[in-house]
Amino acid sequence: MTEEKRIVLRNADLINPKKIEDYMQAGGYQGLEKARLMSRSDLIAEIKKSNLRGRGGAAFNCGLKWSFVPTDAPVSYVVCNFDEGEPGTYKDRIIVQKDPQSLLEGMAICGHAVNSKQGYIYCRGEYPYVVELLNLAIDQARGKGLLGDFDIEVRMGGGAYVCGEETALIESIEGHRGEPRFKPPFPGVAGLWAQPTVVNNVETFANLPSIVLNGPEWFAAIGAPNYPGTKVLTLTGDVANRVSIEVPTTATLREIIYDFGGGIKEGKKFKAVQVGGTSGGFIPESLLDTPIDFDSMRGIGATLGTGAVFVMDETRDIVDITTRIAKFFEHESCGKCNPCREGTFRAYEIMKKINNGKAVAQDIENLTILSQVMEKACLCGLGQAAPAPILTTLKHFYPEYQARLQIH
């Protein structure tokens, strides 16, 4: 049986998150100290070698992302994506609430690697109480002179899901409408205020102190070789234990649901699990032995995404759940690009028709072609991922759709 392995949450519940002294005593800021003795290129090479991949959902190689920042850039920024808008995801909040200094240290390590003097934490608008803790932690780190000439500011989001997309997040920090930019240019070249910018997720940053301190080989040996390390997962839905856990990326969905989640509550049978948040695919029983690493998940048409694990038991109505998800995307589409603005709206309309038992086979065909186009044609990840729940439920749970159709 797979056991929990704690890297990101190594200090969770062992230290007082409001006391930087506790963090220091637990080995805090030694990673940053070691990083500062390295040259910028050596540090980036180390992170590349560790094969740490982004924990926000896209799984881009972290060191590679940093290397896009031009070495001669006079100004660059480090931005932490703490928007955490995926329903069912709360891993970043857990990380920050239990060990805020770990995030700050990770950001400072990145700051050294890309020669940045200023970091921003873009915090989800629904987490005002976490902002207080973060500001306290920043004050403490600043007061001890640990951040050196690197400073960190917390910015609050306004509640828009799309602002978790890195370029929309940047637009929001700049004070504009939260709408994604087209890429290229990527933020590494022209991001915040058109300067080179590294945007990483909370969990990615929180991994860095341990990687620098223990070396890239140590990290690369943990979990799946192509997506090494651990992943913090949040279990929600019909599991006996709705908990957050940190496991090596070799853990399978079955282990997570049955060993850590304690199986389906009230002795019911499993029906489906959605991994990665609202934009994740639905996974049936037959694929539960898939490991959670990014590539294995992608292999079955799912995403690891944010690591939200939403379990549904046999009594749950897949069509109804998918309709609710479609409503979520209809509400959260920013409206910039045609296929997402109009597509999420029409997908919700069609799902409602199916859910109300008024649809015919042609409606499902329309929904399918719409979803297939959105996946490839939308401007940003929101529109590209919005059809995933529809397409995966159509694939794995088609009889439930069929049962709703009008017979002609």
Partner 1 sequence: MITLTINGKEVHTPKGSTILEACQQNGIPIPTLCYDPDLRLAGSCRMCLVEIKGRPLYAASCVTPAENGIVVETESPGIVAARKVILELLSARHKFNCQVCEKNGDCKFQDYCYQYGIKESRFIYGEATNYGINDPNPFIERDYNKCIMCTRCVRACEEITAARAINVENRGHHAKISTAFDGNLADSSCLFCGQCVMVCPTGALTSKVSAGLGRAYEVDKVLTTCSYCGTGCTLELNVKNNRVVGVTSNRTATGSPVNKGALCVKGRFGWDFINSPDRLTTPLIKENGQFREAGWDEALDLVAKRLGEVKNEFGPDSMAVFTSARVTNEENYVAQKFTRAVLGTNNVDHCARL
Binding footprint of partner 1 on the chain (CB under 8 A): 160, 177, 182, 184, 330-339, 341-346, 349-350, 352-353, 366, 369-370, 373, 376-379, 384
**Residue 376 Cβ vs partner 1, minimum distance, rounded to whole Å:** 5
Q: Which is nearer to partner 1, 3 or 365 (CB)?
A: 365
Closest residue by Cα to residue 127 from 158, 168, 103, 100: 158
* All residues at 6 or more sequence positions from 15 whose CB lies less than 8 Å from its CB, including other chains: 22, 23, 25, 26, 99
Shortest reach from residue 91's CB to partner 1, in Å: 26
- The conformation of residue 61, written as its DSSP 8-state character, comes to B
Smallest gap from Cβ 158 to partner 1, in A, equals 11
Q: Residue 179 or 246: which CB sits closer to partner 1? A: 179
Minimal CA–CA distance to 52: which of 257, 171, 206, 266?
206
Secondary structure of residue 247 in the 3-state scheme? strand
Nearer to partner 1 by Cβ, of 22 and 320: the residue is 320
CB of 350 to partner 1, least distance (A): 6
DSSP state letter for 378: -
What's the rounded Cα separation, in Å, for the pair 110 and 132? 23
Task: In angstroms, give the least distance from the CB of 305 to partner 1.
Answer: 17
Side chain identity, residue 399: P
Nearer to partner 1, 115 or 366 (CB): 366
The tokens describing 159, both together, are 């509640």
The CA-to-CA distance between both ends of the chain, in Å, stands at 51
Which CB, 177 or 395, lies closer to partner 1?
177
Residue 394 and residue 282 in contact, taking contact as beta carbons nearer than 8 Å: no
Minimum Å distance from CB 373 to partner 1? 4
Q: How far is the CB of 195 from partner 1 (least distance, A)?
A: 18
- Scanning 120-230, the segments in alpha helix (DSSP H) are 128-143, 166-173, 202-214, 216-220
Query: Is 236 or 279 the residue whose CB approaches partner 1 more closely?
Result: 279
What the block records as the tokens of 353 is 């028709």
Element (H, E) at 275: strand 270-275
State the Cα–Cα distance between residues 25 and 243, nearest whole angstrom: 28
Q: How far is the CB of 22 from partner 1 (least distance, A)?
A: 43
Cβ-based nearer residue to partner 1, 24 or 300: 300
- Choice between 232 and 380, CB closer to partner 1: 380
| Of 369 and 403, CB closest to partner 1 | 369
Phi, psi dihedrals of residue 84, rounded to the nearest 5°: 35, 65
Rounded Cα–Cα distance for residues 79 and 171 (Å)? 12
Q: Sign of torsion, CA 325 331 332 336?
A: positive
Whole-number Å distance between alpha carbons of 326 and 401: 15
CA 166 → CA 49, 72, 288, distances in Å? 24, 23, 31
State in angstroms the smallest separation of the CB of 122 from partner 1: 19
Q: What is d(CA 370, CA 96) in angstroms, rounded to the nearest whole number? A: 39
Query: Nearer Cβ to partner 1, position 132 or 349?
Result: 349
**Packed helices 338-355 and 361-377: angle between N→C axes, nearest 10 degrees:** 150
Minimal distance, residue 364 CB to partner 1, in Å: 12
